[in-house]
Amino acid sequence: MKSLQDNCGLFGLYSDAECAHDIFQGIDLLQHRGQEFCGISTFDGSMHQISHYGKVANTFRDQDFKYLRGRCGIGHVSLWERQPVMWQCQIGEIAVAFSGNITNAKELISSMKMRGKAFYRGYNIEVISKVIMEEPDVVSGLQALAEKVKGAYSLVVLTKAGIHAARDVYGFRPLILGQGPGRHVVASESRAIQNLEMELFRDVRPGEIILINDKGFETMAQLDSPRTAHCAFEWAYTASLDSIIDGVHVQEARNNLGESLAKRDIEEGGLEADIVAAVPMSGIGHALGYHKRSRINYQEVFLYNRYADRSYTQSSQPARQKMAKRKLSVLHYAVKGKRIVLCDDSIVRGTQILHKVRDLKKGGAKEVHVRIACPPLMYPCDFGISTRTYEELAARRYIKTGNITSLEQLRDLEARMADEIGADSVKYNTLDAFVAAMGIPKEDLCLMCFDGKNPTETK
Ligand code: SF4
């Protein structure tokens, strides 16, 4: 997708050997979750920390690993801020890294300022750290955090006791445990565990606080969870295709979403097309699913420039558009004279899909039929991902208020969207089809950006 914002990747490792190289590899495997900043903290009796502006593989140097001594540590990749952050407090030395968004940060900052606390920039990570550090130990700090903070977070905290890992009580952001000989690990995604030759252990439960040290994993507290609300975008877009998020293979979910789009086309009379193609990379799983169900040949129509950044993480719209151009070039040989079914994960502002359709038509495509895995995006996300304003959402240009309540309304939106982006047709998955493809009960998902229902306000 094109406007995800505050996504981050977390990694924590307790090892029987020096850990910095493994943490480096772990956050490198999570690079797709944020490319602006990266950092590692390790502990060997003292805390060591290095963060960089840029990507993991481009920024860490040999001398960094000499400095990052210790058998336990945490790492982070981000779009917005340097993490982990390191503090000295009553608990001792502490390093904290998190993924998510705190929606009542302003209120918390004001009330803490009234109590004499100072803030550097008022970043979410400062708020989180200060709430934790007001308590006598990390577990009570994390319990206080769950009580005081609204929003979504997964986090890791490094102290002399080991690594505490926690997930908010709704489980918005993923967090998974793994292990291998002499190593215990926690990561935002399973790929960072499996590609480091370790086995998956299990997902951290919503509201669970776990301590990881040389004895392994210990649940220190299980906070009450009013309901589960995993972010549905993890499967549709955010997570890597080779990850397993909360027990569901991302690849399987994306294939199902593509199949479901093909099923709708078949049920609505069939679509005559020569090839099914994807907007790389996140459209690939959807396109393969469409191909499987429709039996229309799969063909790549864009060459993905692996040296260009993923466009959503560019922080301004002009930068995103420039990067999108650099990222994908048309494969003219595959495109000329073809009727193309083009699959993508979602339409946010509509500008990128417009450019893709335009590029394909300019490249000689006879028809371009756009198929979108997610239902129309109708609401901003309150929990740290996605566009922040209604004005930015393409679907809101046509449906000003409320939700899509009928297939007719959806079809009307699709026809207008097709006109806007110059496609021969546009279809989305309905919300019901989207949820069914995911294979997770609707009541365990956050779907707020589609239906406006805030999971923290519903039981
Ligand atoms: S509102 Fe949308 S993007 Fe935000 S957590 Fe919920 S499903 Fe994910």
Domain boundaries, the chain: 8-225, 251-446
pLDDT at 312 over 80: no
| pLDDT score of 3 | 42
Instruction: Name the average pLDDT for the chain.
Output: 92
Pocket test for ligand 1, best of 103, 383, 444, 451 (most atoms within 8 A of CB): 383
pLDDT digits (tens, 9 = 90+) for 271-300: 999 999 999 988 999 999 999 999 999 999
The Cβ of residue 217 has, within 10 Å, a number of other Cβ atoms equal to 20
| pLDDT score of 80 | 82
H/E stretch holding 257 reads helix 250-267
Q: How far is the CA of 82 from the centre of ligand 1 (A)?
A: 23
Q: Is the CB of 446 under 6 A from ligand 1?
A: yes
H and E: helices and strands count for the chain: 16, 23
Contact 174, 224 (CB under 8 A): no
| pLDDT score of 324 | 67
Average pLDDT over residues 371-377: 97
Topology agreement, domain 8-225 and domain 251-446:
no
Contact 18, 64 (CB under 8 A): no
**Is 8-225 a CATH 3.60.20.10 domain?**
yes
Q: Which one from 8, 343, 381, 449 is the annotated catalytic residue?
A: 8
Pocket test for ligand 1, best of 1, 234, 386, 445 (most atoms within 8 A of CB): 386
Compute CA distances 201 → 9, 19, 217, whole Å: 19, 19, 10
Residue 75 binned pLDDT confidence (cut-offs 50, 70, 90) = very high
**Is 251-446 a CATH 3.40.50.2020 domain?**
yes
Q: How far is the CA of 76 from the centre of ligand 1 (A)?
A: 21
Task: Determine which residue's CA is closest to atom 4 belonging to ligand 1.
Answer: 381
Average pLDDT over residues 79-88: 92
pLDDT digits (tens, 9 = 90+) for 147-177: 999 989 999 999 999 999 999 999 999 999 9
Q: Report the alpha-carbon distance of residue 203 to residue 443 in Å, rounded.
A: 18
Compute CA distances 355 → 53, 112, 322, whole Å: 30, 47, 11
pLDDT digits (tens, 9 = 90+) for 48-63: 999 999 999 999 999 9
Q: Is the CB of 434 under 6 A from ligand 1?
A: no
**Catalytic: 8?**
yes
Contact 283, 345 (CB under 8 A): yes
Which of 9-23, 41-55, 318-332, 336-350 has the weakest average pLDDT?
318-332
**Nearest partner of 456 among 246, 98, 156, 171, judged by Cα:** 171
Q: Is the CB of 381 under 6 A from ligand 1?
A: yes
Residue 181 binned pLDDT confidence (cut-offs 50, 70, 90) = very high
Q: Report the alpha-carbon distance of residue 174 to residue 399 in Å, rounded.
A: 32
Average pLDDT over residues 183-189: 98
Pocket test for ligand 1, best of 233, 282, 379 (most atoms within 8 A of CB): 233
| pLDDT score of 311 | 45
72, β-bridge pairs:
14, 43
Q: How far is the CA of 343 from the centre of ligand 1 (A)?
A: 21
pLDDT digits (tens, 9 = 90+) for 434-450: 999 999 999 999 999 99
Nearest atom of ligand 1 to the alpha carbon of 380: 1
